[in-house]
Structure 1
Amino acid sequence: MVSWDEILARLPSEVREVIETTRAHNRWRRETINLIASENVMSPLAEAAYLNDMMHRYAEGKPRKRYYQGLRYVDVVEELVMKYMGELLGGAFIEPRPVSGTIANATVFRALASCPSSEGRPKALIAPVQAGAHVSHTKFGTLGALCIEHIELPYDPDNLNVDVDKAVKMIEDVKPVFVVLGGSLYLFPHPVREIAEAAHSVGAKLVYDAAHVLGLIVGKRWRNPLDHGADIMTASTHKTFPGPQGGIIATRQEDLYKAVSRIVFPYFVSNHHLHRLPALAITALEMKYYGEAYADQVVRNAKALAEALAAEGFKVLGEHLGYTRSHQVAVDVREYGGGAKAAQLLEEANIIVNKNLLPYDPPDAIKNPSGLRLGVQEMTRWGMKEDDMREIARFMRRVVIDGEDPAKVRKEVVEFRRNFQKVHYAFDVDPTENGKLLLLY
């Protein structure tokens, strides 16, 4: 049998460079501790389902109402995605066509707010960026591109959350078209019920961006915003929810569902990357059967990592609040040179994190903010538990606080990571036979 290396040797050098770089990335990532809060891994079965002929096909429109032929099986899979995701979210209508969480946000914002008129720009209230709001919520992103006026909600730095009393007063005074909760630096639940009641009292809608916590919501370790007054929810499908990259919109209001469905196509999406749909359906079923155990361990691991980092000498935000109730941990590393320096040193030790603004940082500190944002969901998926979080904290202390050579720590990280090579909380099947993906044949 001809080896893979022999096959590569026959190919043009340009082809070899692409393949070898991709292989190097894949090998390297299995040697790293990934703490990026917006990433995850699919199971082998979901990955196999992702590689399918649908990636070559086009499907403008909705199931059974397409502008192209040849989509009888695509329609079935898309309907299954809508069914399974709707069940996970308590009977919601699901719009699965946004190809990212940002596109989901854009769709909802455009559906709720018309273009500027003689009465001026429509207004939206959001949390401050440095307090967690995603850039798509702001004048610097999707909201600004749609000419919607961006107004920041009051923030309570002591509780690392929206200031409820001041926010209610602002909603009553401003009378926005909609209010956005949810975020990307997100340690504690936002006050959904209180803000929803205030928004509804002035005829506004409450949008909840659950991109980061969708997996915790369907795993019943984070409250479902649709149960507490949110009118509509957007989310990514690849963060705590461990599916393929993409976005969804969920609502229990049929009129609102129809409105966003009319907007997503043709405004923001034409073809919606069909090959991700089977993988999304598989992941939804994994979350149906294993989601509660997974989400429970994610929350336990985040708490354990935060406590361990504090014990190792790091300044971890939210001590008086129990540090975190999500998958995330926020750490202030100003005294060690800032987030950019710490993140670079940790990457040299094969620990992947991202620098991040903290609530007291000015927006212009984005290039070297005070903090690091850590997420434990991927390492939980690889099978890590609380004791492993404590080991990670020790690695981080040696690099950032002790100033130990990252190359030395990297060798130990690689050895540690070898113990975690199987995806957990998933169907335990091998989707290959004699090296072939069974779903392709």
Structure 2
Amino acid sequence: MQQYRELLQKNDQDVFNALSGEEARQKAGIELIPSENYTYPEVLCTLGSVFTNKYSEGYPGRRYYGGQEFTDTIEDIARERAKSLFRCEHANVQPLSGSPMNQAVYLGLLEPGDTILAMDLSHGGHLTHGAPVSFMGKLFNFIRYKTDPTDGAIDFDELRRISLAEKPKMILCGYTSYPRDLDYSRFKKIADEVGAITMTDASHYGGLVAADVLRNPFDFGFDVVTTTSHKSLRGPRGGMILCRKEFAARIDKAVFPGLQGGPHMNTIAGIAVTLKKAAEPEFKEYGRQVLLNASTLADELVKNGASLVTGGTDNHMMVLDTEKSFGINGKIAEELLDSVSITTNKQIIPDDPNPPLKPSGIRIGTPAATTRGMKEKDMVRLADWMLRILGNPDDKSLAASTKAEIEAFCSRFPVPGI
């Protein structure tokens, strides 16, 4: 790999400088965006491999181009490992990312105009769960369920009432900013009552399901589970659709030729590597540590007066209400933490009165910090730094000294592959 870096430096200094700058940024700071992680060095190797050169439209044994001996091998390995790891009957590993992954499920199993019941976006749902600005939101009739404002739990009585009244063709659970595990048995019972397909978008927490530290929807009879291959799985940026056999043909056809052309075989090679890693005992320990770190960080923030949506977390993330806690919006909070090398993202809270680009909170997660080897005691320090900076937004001297502390601290925790 070093020879290629030297070649890049020689032939394109501008891109090399940006690459070097990003490496330095990742090493010097703490990554707390819950959807980001550091992938394995072996995955970086596959992404820069000769599989980048190969077109492989179709599926193993049914390609449109010749020369597919090794691409077929790689894709079959990835599919079999996914089926084993997630205890499912079929796996499609070709989706280019999370959004087309979810779109393929809707387009493969439903008809335009069909009703889908999904989580309200401000309560934790994702853009692909029917945001009005998305094409899926225009193509399908999305209706919403919310959480209980008193404790943040999903209101299943209201969810059942809506389902009985609207008769959705699909009930979708899963989240992008909901800090609790899900009761799949209750979703499944309501879906069966109205004859709906059950789908879980586990993009954020697929790695924690693989590690058996969060519930697996297939253990409760779910029909479809989608997950990205990066985030908590630590793989390359891609997506997977996992499903029961009866939906396999329709899902595959929706991915190709319905939405995509040639898959990115270098990414699929990286997914294969990732799934092998996720089946090893070390990954289960990693999953346990992600949850321990998240609960420690959440407890420490709450103990010191910060307000978290739902009051805490069951998973890898939490949502901090910065308006209630510090009197500042999430955009300002994100920028303040960025200035001291702590990376988070601004986040809407349930029924947020503020606009999406200046919302009332930030989203915080522990997968990336855990990948670097940080443990509970480090989360206590991290909480102290965050409280210090958010509680004193105008103190430039404090920010400067805190940034120096954080970057010295981070130097003790190597970033894999850098």
CA contact (8 A) 2:316 2:366 kept: yes
Shift of the alpha carbon at 1:279?
Answer: 1.5
Q: What is the rounded CA distance, in whole Å, between the counterparts of 2:335 and 2:391 in structure 1?
A: 14
SS of aligned partner of 1:383: coil
Match of 1:285 among 276, 300, 305: 276
SS of aligned partner of 1:331: strand
Q: Percent identity?
A: 27
CA contact (8 A) 2:153 2:310 kept: no
Deviations 1:349-402 (A, max 9, x none): 10000010111314x621111111001001101100000111111111121113
Q: Could you tell me which residue of structure 2 aligns to residue 375 of structure 1?
A: 365
CA contact (8 A) 1:111 1:260 kept: yes
Q: Could you tell me which residue of structure 2 aligns to residue 325 of structure 1?
A: 314
Inter-CA distance 91–137: structure 2 relative to 1 (3 Å threshold): closer
Q: What is the rounded CA distance, in whole Å, between the counterparts of 2:6 and 2:173 in structure 1?
A: 54
Shift of the alpha carbon at 1:154?
Answer: 4.0
Please give the residue correspondences for 1:188-207 in structure 2 after superposition, counting only pairs within 5 Å.
188-207=180-199
Q: Give the aligned residue type for 2:63.
A: R
CA contact (8 A) 2:38 2:368 kept: yes
Match of 2:61 among 45, 60, 64: 64
Match of 2:411 among 400, 410, 418: 418
Q: What is the rounded CA distance, in whole Å, between the counterparts of 1:388 and 1:172 in structure 2?
A: 48
Deviations 1:177-220 (A, max 9, x none): 11110010021123321121221222210111000110110100
Q: Could you tell me which residue of structure 2 aligns to residue 140 of structure 1?
A: 133
Shift of the alpha carbon at 1:9?
Answer: 8.1
Match of 1:257 among 233, 248, 259: 248
SS of aligned partner of 2:172: strand
Q: Give the aligned residue type for 2:320.
A: V
Shift of the alpha carbon at 1:339?
Answer: 0.4
**1:344 aligned to 2:344?**
no
Match of 2:300 among 303, 308, 330: 308
Q: What is the rounded CA distance, in whole Å, between the counterparts of 1:285 and 1:219 in structure 2?
A: 12
Q: Give the aligned residue type for 1:254.
A: K
Inter-CA distance 212–10: structure 2 relative to 1 (3 Å threshold): closer
Inter-CA distance 59–410: structure 2 relative to 1 (3 Å threshold): same
Q: What is the rounded CA distance, in whole Å, between the counterparts of 1:55 and 1:49 in structure 2?
A: 9
Moved more, 187-196 or 408-417: 187-196
Inter-CA distance 422–354: structure 2 relative to 1 (3 Å threshold): closer
Please give the residue correspondences for 1:15-414 in structure 2 after superposition, counting only pairs within 5 Å.
15-115=12-112, 121-138=113-130, 139-145=132-138, 147-251=139-243, 253-289=244-280, 290-319=282-311, 323-334=312-323, 335-362=326-353, 365-403=355-393, 404-405=395-396, 406-414=399-407
Q: What is the rounded CA distance, in whole Å, between the counterparts of 2:4 and 2:307 in structure 1?
A: 48
CA contact (8 A) 1:124 1:148 kept: yes
SS of aligned partner of 1:152: strand
Inter-CA distance 17–67: structure 2 relative to 1 (3 Å threshold): same
Q: What is the rounded CA distance, in whole Å, between the counterparts of 2:216 and 2:347 in structure 1?
A: 26
Query: What TM-score do you get using the length of structure 2 for normalisation?
Result: 0.93
Q: What is the rounded CA distance, in whole Å, between the counterparts of 2:47 and 2:33 in structure 1?
A: 22
Q: What is the rounded CA distance, in whole Å, between the counterparts of 1:294 and 1:387 in structure 2?
A: 16
Deviations 1:79-100 (A, max 9, x none): 0001111111114311111111
Inter-CA distance 308–65: structure 2 relative to 1 (3 Å threshold): same
SS of aligned partner of 1:156: coil
Q: What is the rounded CA distance, in whole Å, between the counterparts of 2:202 and 2:89 in structure 1?
A: 14
CA contact (8 A) 1:346 1:400 kept: yes
Question: Which 5+ residue runs of structure 2 have no aligned equivalent?
Answer: none
Q: What is the rounded CA distance, in whole Å, between the counterparts of 1:91 and 1:178 in structure 2?
A: 19
CA contact (8 A) 2:88 2:242 kept: no
CA contact (8 A) 1:106 1:142 kept: no
Q: Could you tell me which residue of structure 2 aligns to residue 118 of structure 1?
A: none
SS of aligned partner of 2:302: helix
Inter-CA distance 349–422: structure 2 relative to 1 (3 Å threshold): closer
Q: What is the rounded CA distance, in whole Å, between the counterparts of 2:123 and 2:382 in structure 1?
A: 26
Moved more, 156-165 or 176-185: 156-165
Identify, as 1 or 2, the structure richer in helix: 2
Q: Give the aligned residue type for 2:256.
A: F
CA contact (8 A) 1:112 1:178 kept: no
Inter-CA distance 399–154: structure 2 relative to 1 (3 Å threshold): closer
Q: What is the rounded CA distance, in whole Å, between the counterparts of 1:79 and 1:387 in structure 2?
A: 42
Inter-CA distance 47–153: structure 2 relative to 1 (3 Å threshold): same
Q: What is the rounded CA distance, in whole Å, between the counterparts of 2:6 and 2:379 in structure 1?
A: 41
SS of aligned partner of 2:359: coil
Q: What is the rounded CA distance, in whole Å, between the counterparts of 1:345 and 1:173 in structure 2?
A: 46
Inter-CA distance 324–16: structure 2 relative to 1 (3 Å threshold): same
Shift of the alpha carbon at 1:267?
Answer: 1.6
Structure 1 residue ranges, 4+ long, deviating more than 3 angstroms after superposition: 3-11
CA contact (8 A) 1:33 1:379 kept: yes
CA contact (8 A) 1:161 1:190 kept: no
Q: Give the aligned residue type for 1:186.
A: Y
Q: What is the rounded CA distance, in whole Å, between the counterparts of 1:421 and 1:246 in structure 2?
A: 25
Query: What TM-score do you get using the length of structure 1 for normalisation?
Result: 0.89
Q: What is the rounded CA distance, in whole Å, between the counterparts of 1:143 and 1:165 in structure 2?
A: 27
Inter-CA distance 9–71: structure 2 relative to 1 (3 Å threshold): closer
Q: What is the rounded CA distance, in whole Å, between the counterparts of 2:409 and 2:306 in structure 1?
A: 22
Aligned residues: 410
